Chains A and B, each alone.
Chain A
């Protein structure tokens, strides 16, 4: 490590030093989200910053730069805060970003940390007015006596400038840590969920929200489960789903009651008694839930599996995919090194035929629901030169038959975890967040969904 004797990265030191093998904590990506057209990709990090990437339009003159994502805008969304009443520091880490559907030239997104949600307007400015009567070119006030004629200012082109401004701040509505936000299909409301409550907001009203789910028991001693994720149905503005730490999903209908504590549907798979262990509760906790684009299915992720549920069948999932079952015998070590608490997200492709989720060692997995084939790929600098084809990886159990290029379970790097992934809404383009690096992979052969 040379002359650097301090191995602990400090929060204030920004920048990733390629010579050293540590990562500054503030640069760790904590959320990734494509907008509704896929033209923009937003990432949030632990330092409270949001970076937006824009896809370059395909050009005939430079065929190799077609469809690449470049940085469009960077801004500080949240700052660390201190709650004096409770003597608690509020982290600036961006937990979730959700884009609003585009309604005019500007783009809007919601970003949230543990306590506060903000609505940001991202707009472009590529023209500016020139030819004022009272001001000169540098903006200095002219001497009125020198003005002999009047002119109408004209808009002249200028270098593109991306402006980001906070339009709304939705604060002080959550006692516990916000884990999800979801924009409603009515494009007027959105919800925010913390460990015990879900609030419904109107995008234009910041001083009040409506509590729609409250699972806080009268006596906290009786607490048995918390809300882990929540999402609105993509088409039905009255339906939403929330997942719990007990591995259940609840579909709620806002037309039924003002307070949706009573679910319309409860999705729960009975526990297999033979698989019971000390850690059964931890690994059954659902870390992410996503509606399919069709609205017909739900995708959930728990520690070892990804499951597809049919909204019409509550008794068990339609499909269960083993993400890294080789970890089942290692749960005790994963518990000791805290990895068992990692919250992996999951994603659908645009046609709902393939699901994707992350794993350890910078591996991520994709499962084709139709062909039942799956693939493990790695997001790392060594294995991904630009325009190189990713090679499928395989993890073999310790002591099992080992092929060339296989990696054994014991050699997996558990500090390299892919928690956040996103899939372009229409094309085969995926964004993978590997600690502080963002990888964008495109399937050039099969650009269109099928």
Chain B
């Protein structure tokens, strides 16, 4: 239990730091964001491993999309990198998978981002929301593939003004834990 509590706290702190780093002077620091994401990922893995050993059946993903939209951090996306697209997120999901057609995603991304920002209020930044949400099991994500928060990807998009080719805005999940 201690491990899960600590893991959750670490994740909450990481999210807070990632969020506040967006308004930092000098822009996003890639190194710091990367380290925070790695800490968050390992905390999340440990948390899920601990959860899995505790409960036999983790509550399913049926209520995921609506709660996800409301509860996610402003600026952090609520996406689905895998197959089970639900409702309004279907479009986003398809967009995320068309990696080779990078140019088209340029048109999708800003709309997605604007939509998400409008929905969220300041209260969503409070870490209080996290304890109320259910845990989600990772499906189909391979270990070595590092799941970066969209804060990191925002950084890339912001920095792509120079000779760097535009990358698609991958969509990432915010883990809601309870």
Contact = CB atoms under 8 A, between A and B. Distances in A.
Interface of A: 83, 85-91, 93, 114, 172, 175-177, 195-196, 216, 219-226, 228, 245, 278-282, 285, 332, 335-336, 338, 341
- Residue among B34, B42, B152, B161 facing the most chain A CB atoms (10 A cut-off): B34
A245 B146 CA distance: 14
Nearest to B152: A220
Interface of chain A, main secondary structure: loop
Given A87-B158, A220-B152, A281-B42, A228 B31 contact: yes
B27 A226 contact: no
Interface string B16-54: 010000000111011110110011001100100000000
A114 B26 contact: yes
A216 B155 CA distance: 13
B80 interface: no
B170 interface: yes
Given A177-B26, A278-B39, A221 B148 contact: yes
A222 B146 contact: yes
Contact of A278 (B17, B34, B42, B145): B42
B35 A88 contact: no
A220 B153 CA distance: 7
Interface string B151-167: 01100101111111001
B35 A341 contact: yes
B86 interface: no
Nearest to A287: B31
Contact of A338 (B17, B159, B167): B17
Given A175-B164, A281-B35, A196 B30 contact: yes
Nearest to A279: B39
B167 A220 contact: yes
B43 A278 contact: yes
A-B CB proximity, top 5 nearest = A91-B26, A88-B27, A85-B161, A195-B30, A86-B158
B158 A219 contact: no
A220 B151 CA distance: 12
B142 to A, nearest CB: 11
A189 B147 CA distance: 38
B10 A335 contact: yes
A223 B39 contact: no
B99 interface: yes
B91 interface: no
A90 B25 CA distance: 8
Given A93-B26, A281-B39, 17 more contacts: A83-B161, A86-B27, A87-B158, A88-B26, A88-B158, A175-B160, A175-B163, A219-B170, A220-B156, A222-B146, A223-B152, A226-B34, A280-B42, A281-B42, A282-B39, A335-B13, A341-B32
Contacts of A281: 35, 38-39, 42
Interface of B: 6-7, 10, 13, 17, 25-27, 29-32, 34-35, 38-39, 42-43, 46, 99, 144-148, 152-153, 156, 158-164, 167, 170
B26 A90 contact: yes
25 contacts: A88-B26, A90-B26, A175-B160, A175-B163, A176-B30, A176-B159, A177-B30, A195-B30, A196-B30, A219-B167, A219-B170, A220-B152, A220-B170, A221-B153, A223-B152, A226-B31, A245-B31, A278-B10, A279-B39, A281-B42, A282-B35, A282-B39, A335-B10, A336-B13, A338-B17
Given A85-B161, A175-B164, A223-B148, A332 B25 contact: no
A225 B37 CA distance: 12
A114 to B, nearest CB: 6
B160 to A, nearest CB: 7
A126 B153 CA distance: 55
A223 B146 contact: yes
A245 B32 CA distance: 10
B148 A175 contact: no
Contacts of B39: 278-279, 281-282, 335
Contacts of B158: 86-88
Nearest to A341: B32
Contacts of A86: 27, 158-159, 161
Nearest to A338: B17
Given A177-B29, A220-B148, A335-B13, A285 B35 contact: yes
A91 B25 contact: yes
B170 A221 contact: yes
A286 B16 CA distance: 24
B158 to A, nearest CB: 5
Nearest to A89: B25
Contacts of A223: 34, 146, 148, 152
Given A175-B164, A220-B167, A221-B145, A278 B46 contact: yes
B152 A222 contact: no
B8 to A, nearest CB: 12
A191 B148 CA distance: 29
Contacts of A196: 30
Contacts of B29: 177
A444 B49 CA distance: 59
Contacts of B156: 220
A199 B147 CA distance: 28
